[in-house]
Structure 1
Amino acid sequence: MRRRRIQDDDLHNKERWLISYADFITLLFAFFVVMYSVSSVNEGKYKVLSETLTGVFNAPQRSLQPIEVGQNPPAAGIGSGEDVIQPAVTEAPRNPDMDEAGRTEALRTMADRLALEFDELINQGVVTVESNEAWLELSLRNSLLFGSGDAEPHYDAFEVIETIASVLENRDNAIRVEGFTDNQPIQTNAFPSNWELSAARAAAVVRMMSMEGIDPARMAAVGYGEHQPVARNDTEEGRRRNRRVVLLISRDASIRGALR
């Protein structure tokens, strides 16, 4: 009996290492979970920050001319005794060889390409493409680009904008980006009302389009808030449809002319 008890104690002592090993594995797993959570990066924010910093550091140096304050400040280039360089007036690129019929056909071609690129999302009701002889309208649900109550694009938005830019690049058509919300009130430090939220979302899309190579002179950003609904706001589906960003692509090149 004494010998058997000694053997049982020896067996128990030999298996104690399993407890320490299990504790070690648990701690190691917890360590890697914490490290992963700390190292995960919002890639959408990273891309915006990266593009912004690249633009800042690559921008040419500029000097500011002081403005003389007084009753009768001298007019630029008059009586100053120095040659004053007038700022150049830039316009969107033109296609002088294309007549009105050609522009209409080119607009239809862009509509067909966008419909093909977003075929799956169109079937899901997230994207709509409509066109006539003068305008092409591309409507995107806000959930495709932004989080709730936010104007900062999430990562999936960049792929969508890249696809749109690939269709609109190397052209001169004017582009008006319009932001819309539902009628649910918002009041934050960044967005006191839906006006600011819708305008900020439209401006964010314009900025992303510019980052993808679309000439900023072709674009304008407009915010309508909740005041131009396409559906009733008393249902969740209606509010979801009203939360959208719309790109209106004009047949013409002049953005100011397209807005009139």
Structure 2
Amino acid sequence: MARRKRLEKKSESSGGWMTTFSDLMSLLLTFFILLYSMSNVSETKFQAATQSIQMALSGTGGTSILEETNSAVEKEPTPSADNGIDPEVEELYEKVTTYVTENKMNSKVSVDMDKDGVYVDIQESVLFSSGSAEISNPGQQTLDILANLVSTFDNSIVIEGYTDNVPIKNSNFDSNWELSSGRAVSVLRYLSEEEDIEAHRLSAKGYGEYNPSVPNDTDENRAKNRRVNIVIVYDGQEAK
């Protein structure tokens, strides 16, 4: 009877090494997944490695837990790839926003970007009186600060003028097109003549009321649409 009990005890404990081996394989698998999630591995190489480990763990016909965890370690797309914006544009955007913040201009201008470049948005009240294309003294001071930034880049600069949808009523301009174009040209000439920005880098466009940033349905929104943009154009070359 005692001999039989010893045999039974031996039989009950004979699978212990399998449990230890399984735990070890699980730890190795976890380590492998961690390394993969922190690296840049091609899908083809990963699938080959997956098949090798799967065969080692469960044979050619088994089901591997790698099949369940593969989707969990897919590499997330970078912001640049996701929004189509070149990393150099993002770097340029960071330089401009830092400059604006350091010069305490956040209440006067806003900064945005897309794949074509970086936009410095200046509200009408910062540069002009209502219905006028003559740059005010405070507006000149704002442009003086921005010119110091623009002069550090070699990029082309486009000045864009915009208005709201309220028809203009004065003797200087026949339409919002003329007003927006006149304001854009005034800023261009100031940057060229007063700040010595190279003329060949500068161009001006007037959009009138036809490209609003927000709906013209409130006084506040109409004020936002009366603006001038200084666009630092991204031409595919790194800004210096």
TM-score (norm 1): 0.53
Structure 1 SS opposite 2:204: strand
Q: Percent identity?
A: 36
Structural RMSD (CA) = 2.3
1:160 is matched with: 142
Structure 2 SS opposite 1:234: coil
1:114 is matched with: 99
Report the residue type matching 2:150 in the other structure: L
CA offsets, 1:198-241, max 9 Å, x none? 00000011111112111111011000111111122231101110
- Alignment of 1:205 with 2:190, yes or no, is no
Report the residue type matching 1:108 in the other structure: Y
Structure 2 SS opposite 1:161: helix
CA offsets, 1:96-135, max 9 Å, x none? xxxxx8954762353234332454x42x4x4211134541
Q: How far apart are the structure 2 equivalents of 1:197 and 1:115? A: 27
2:128 is matched with: 146
2:163 is matched with: 181
Q: How far apart are the structure 1 equivalents of 2:219 and 2:232? A: 29
Q: Which runs of 5+ in 1 are unaligned?
A: 1-100, 255-260
Q: How far apart are the structure 2 equivalents of 1:238 and 1:118? A: 26
CA contact (8 A) 2:89 2:118 kept: no
TM-score (norm 2): 0.57
CA offsets, 1:133-157, max 9 Å, x none? 5411110100000000000011001
**Pair 1:239–1:102, CA change in 2 (3 A):** closer
Structure 1 SS opposite 2:119: strand
2:203 is matched with: 220
Report the residue type matching 1:127 in the other structure: V
Q: How far apart are the structure 2 equivalents of 1:157 and 1:248? A: 17
Report the residue type matching 1:116 in the other structure: T
Q: Please state which structure has a larger fraction of its residues in helix.
A: 2
Q: Which runs of 5+ in 2 are unaligned?
A: 1-85
CA displacement at 1:247 relative to structure 2: 1.1
- Alignment of 1:136 with 2:118, yes or no, is yes
Deviates more, 1:242-251 or 1:138-147: 242-251
CA contact (8 A) 2:89 2:113 kept: no
Structure 2 SS opposite 1:197: helix
Report the residue type matching 1:219 in the other structure: L
CA displacement at 1:248 relative to structure 2: 1.0
CA contact (8 A) 2:131 2:170 kept: no
Aligned length: 151
1:127 is matched with: 109
